[in-house]
């Protein structure tokens, strides 16, 4: 498992003496796939790209207009403040209260980061070091594992697809591991598996956190992309949550502002302060014009967020119905930007990496192999619903044609 970077690098070795922490990062499993995607695109071949959760739609025009306006003010070109400007933090607190009934102090319980991934990674660095252990959900969004690895911590990956068992195994690990885990990372709606939970999950998690004395980091990246009336619960709206943890949210998904790099860490004041301390050394904050446009987004573009979720729901339906028609199995996700599908039977022996290569090479459809999310992901593919419904239907037709024109691998007899 490794980052979802789009770089076409295949080689993981260096001719210079890089630090041990770089060497601890495993071989680049997406390397071959990204290289082929890059080659195809360079040759002018159309690739339907369902590989990354990278929104293709622009943000609401009101947000971009505000950015343009803010850019023409010379004072916005100076270094900003590392934690985020006060009005932005106030707006985040207001939105949390409106959406989840959570009260946050903008000064001590809200911090802006350069995308939630940056904040998450630096928080792991602020909390963990050699000898510390984090429990992470498996299959895993790569940074959930590697932020801990880069902080020199140990990882215990627990299958998250049955949330009750996930909780049981957290309790079991806390009872039996010495020293006990220091941090538990949760991510619902989950990337890549699409697993969702209800509020009572967090009630139990907070109880465990208090009993076993661990800190919780909730990655709530897909908070805004929910379907059919489901509302993903916020970890912070659980009584006592702020005593034990923080939650990361982002403007990348619901507001389609992925390239703008703006997200938030909210909740436990001491954890927020630990992150602020590290960030105070590493960066000077987000471009101020982006922060101002983000305030406007939260004040005036809530309808656009709902429209974005409705659009993803349509895409989910188009992709799931199409894939089901050609015999694929999957659970329709209730939230998020991904369909997590089982590799259809005659093909599963190929393994997810080779199967994903085949789809890219022969069907012109890029998907993420489940193996890219750890061993638990093998046997699956993750398809991001980032292209429009017409392109998604085209992707299904291409896949169907490619598989019906090919011969599945034969079982090798074992003696």
Ligand X SMILES: Cc1ncc(COP(=O)(O)O)c(C=O)c1O
Chain contacts with ligand X (rule: CB under 6 A): 53, 115-117, 141, 187, 191, 219, 221, 250, 252, 258, 263
Which CB sits closer to ligand X, 219 or 313?
219
CA–CA dist 75, 130 (Å, integer): 42
Instruction: Using alpha carbons, select from 81, 105, 141 the residue that is nearest to residue 291.
Output: 81
Closest contact distance (angstroms) between CB of 236 and ligand X is 16
Closest contact distance (angstroms) between CB of 85 and ligand X is 18
Closest contact distance (angstroms) between CB of 163 and ligand X is 16
Closest contact distance (angstroms) between CB of 11 and ligand X is 25
Instruction: Using alpha carbons, select from 348, 386, 350 the residue that is nearest to residue 367.
Output: 386
Contact (CB, 8 A) for 385 and 395? no
Instruction: Using alpha carbons, select from 278, 263, 285, 271 the residue that is nearest to residue 116.
Output: 263
Closest contact distance (angstroms) between CB of 5 and ligand X is 12
Which CB sits closer to ligand X, 55 or 106?
55
Closest contact distance (angstroms) between CB of 206 and ligand X is 21
CA–CA dist 346, 324 (Å, integer): 15
Residue 15 is given by DSSP the state S
Tokens for 389?
A: 């419904």
Cα-based torsion angle of the residue sequence 220, 88, 62, 99 in order, rounded to the nearest 10 degrees: 40
Which CB sits closer to ligand X, 258 or 359?
258
DSSP codes, 23-89: HTSPP-TTHHHHHHHHHHHHTT---EE-SS----SPPPHHHHHHHHHHHTSGGGGS---TT--HHHH
Which CB sits closer to ligand X, 147 or 396?
147
What residues contact 103, with CB distance under 8 A and at least 6 apart?
A: 93, 96, 97
Which CB sits closer to ligand X, 111 or 396?
111
Which CB sits closer to ligand X, 69 or 283?
283
Give the residues across from 251 on adjacent strands: none
Which CB sits closer to ligand X, 66 or 261?
261
Which CB sits closer to ligand X, 122 or 182?
122
3-state SS string for 135-160: EEEECCCHHHHHHHHHCCCEEEEEEC
CA–CA dist 46, 137 (Å, integer): 34
Contact (CB, 8 A) for 4 and 331? no
CA–CA dist 182, 163 (Å, integer): 20
Closest contact distance (angstroms) between CB of 30 and ligand X is 14
Half-sphere exposure of residue 352, counting CA atoms within 13 Å on the CB side?
Answer: 24
CA–CA dist 19, 188 (Å, integer): 33
Closest contact distance (angstroms) between CB of 196 and ligand X is 13
Closest contact distance (angstroms) between CB of 60 and ligand X is 17
Closest contact distance (angstroms) between CB of 259 and ligand X is 9
Give the distance, in angstroms, between the CA of residue 313 and the centroid of all CA atoms in the same chain. Answer: 18
Tokens for 230?
A: 């489901």
Which CB sits closer to ligand X, 263 or 372?
263
DSSP codes, 82-123: TT--HHHHHHHHHHHHHHH-----TTTSEEEESSHHHHHHHH
Closest contact distance (angstroms) between CB of 384 and ligand X is 9
Which CB sits closer to ligand X, 53 or 364?
53
Which CB sits closer to ligand X, 117 or 182?
117
């Amino acid at each position: 498992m490794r980052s979802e970077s789009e770089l076409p690098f295949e080689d993981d070795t260096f001719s210079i003496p890089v630090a041990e922490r770089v060497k601890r990062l495993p071989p680049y499993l997406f390397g071959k796939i990204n290289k082929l995607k890059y080659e195809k695109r360079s040759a002018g071949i159309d690739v339907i790209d369902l590989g990354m959760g990278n929104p293709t739609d622009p943000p609401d025009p009101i947000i971009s207009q505000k950015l343009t306006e803010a850019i023409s003010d010379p004072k916005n070109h100076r270094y900003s403040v590392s934690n985020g400007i006060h009005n932005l933090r106030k707006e985040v607190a207001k939105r949390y209260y409106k959406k989840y009934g959570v009260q946050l102090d903008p000064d001590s319980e809200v911090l802006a980061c350069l995308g939630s991934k940056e904040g998450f990674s630096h928080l792991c660095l602020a909390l963990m070091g050699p000898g510390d252990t984090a429990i992470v959900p498996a299959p895993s969004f790569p940074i959930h594992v590697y932020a801990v690895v880069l902080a020199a911590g140990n990882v215990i990956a627990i299958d998250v697809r049955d949330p009750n068992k996930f909780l049981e195994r957290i309790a079991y690990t806390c009872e039996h591991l010495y020293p006990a885990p220091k941090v538990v990372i949760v991510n619902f709606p989950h990337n890549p598996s699409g697993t969702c939970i209800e509020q009572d999950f967090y009630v139990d998690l907070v109880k465990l956190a208090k009993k076993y004395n661990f800190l919780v980091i909730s990655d709530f990246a897909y908070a805004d992309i929910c379907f059919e009336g489901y509302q993903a619960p916020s970890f912070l709206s659980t009584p006592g949550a702020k005593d034990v943890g923080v939650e990361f949210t982002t403007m990348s998904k619901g507001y389609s502002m992925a390239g703008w790099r703006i997200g938030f860490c909210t909740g436990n004041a001491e954890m927020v302060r630990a992150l602020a301390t590290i960030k105070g050394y590493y960066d000077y904050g987000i471009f101020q014009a982006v922060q101002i446009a983000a305030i406007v987004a939260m004040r005036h573009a809530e309808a656009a967020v709902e429209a974005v979720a409705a659009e993803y729901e349509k895409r989910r339906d188009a992709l799931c119905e199409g894939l089901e028609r050609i015999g694929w199995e999957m659970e329709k996700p209730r939230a998020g930007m991904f369909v997590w599908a089982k590799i259809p039977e005659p093909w599963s022996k190929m393994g997810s990496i080779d199967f994903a290569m085949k789809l890219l090479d022969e069907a012109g459809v890029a998907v993420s192999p489940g193996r890219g999310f750890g061993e638990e992901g093998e046997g699956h593919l993750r398809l991001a619903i980032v292209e429009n419904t017409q392109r998604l239907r085209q992707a299904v037709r291409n896949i169907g044609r490619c598989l019906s024109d090919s011969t599945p691998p034969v079982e090798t007899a074992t003696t």
